[in-house]
Amino acid sequence: MSANPSNLINIRPMNLLDLNTVDSLENEVYEYPWSKKIIKDCILYQYNCYVAVKEFYLIGYIIFQIMPSETHILNLTVKEKYRRNGLASEFMELVINESKNRNSNTIILETRKNNNPAINLYKKYNFNKIGIRKNYYQAGEKREDALVYQKILSNCHLD
């Protein structure tokens, strides 16, 4: 991320005042977006929800859940115009650090099999493919399998 102050990006906890903006970005990015209610519940149930803000504009967010032994990344989204700039990587560092701080030693996530940007990101962070979840995603009239990726925090290079 650039050190130029005009480009400064601030990552902070998501709150209910962000809900409408997060919901619009969710709808902008995904063909099958989460509902506003799901996003709201994640905030209310105190999942780990963060937004990235640049000059008052919300440009990305991450939602994950830290459970006693496992962290689950549920949503990771960067506005198209701001991609390839290291923001998702910053979010990944945040998940890794928070998981370690809470003694969670495994991170898991699901992704669509054709989502190459996401798959490359997870590979860069030494996630390994550990399986598939059948019929996990909506895909038109049908369902699509998800690839499941896992990172063991005590056993990797980038932790």
Residue 107 CB: number of other CB atoms within 10 A? 25
Using CB under 6 A as the binding rule, whether residue 33 contacts ligand COA is answered as: no
23, 48, 52, 77: which one contacts ligand COA (CB under 6 A)?
77
CA dist., res. 155 & res. 158, Å (int): 9
Least distance from C-beta 137 to ligand COA, angstroms?
A: 10
- By C-beta, is 29 or 152 nearer to ligand COA? 29
- By C-beta, is 103 or 123 nearer to ligand COA? 123
| Residue 123 contacts residue 158 (beta carbons within 8 Å) | no
Using CB under 6 A as the binding rule, whether residue 62 contacts ligand COA is answered as: no
| Residue 26 contacts residue 33 (beta carbons within 8 Å) | yes
Using CB under 6 A as the binding rule, whether residue 116 contacts ligand COA is answered as: yes
39 Cβ partners below 8 Å, 6+ apart? 19, 22, 23, 26, 63
Q: Applying CB under 6 A, which residues contact ligand COA?
A: 29, 76-78, 83-89, 111, 115-118, 120-121, 124
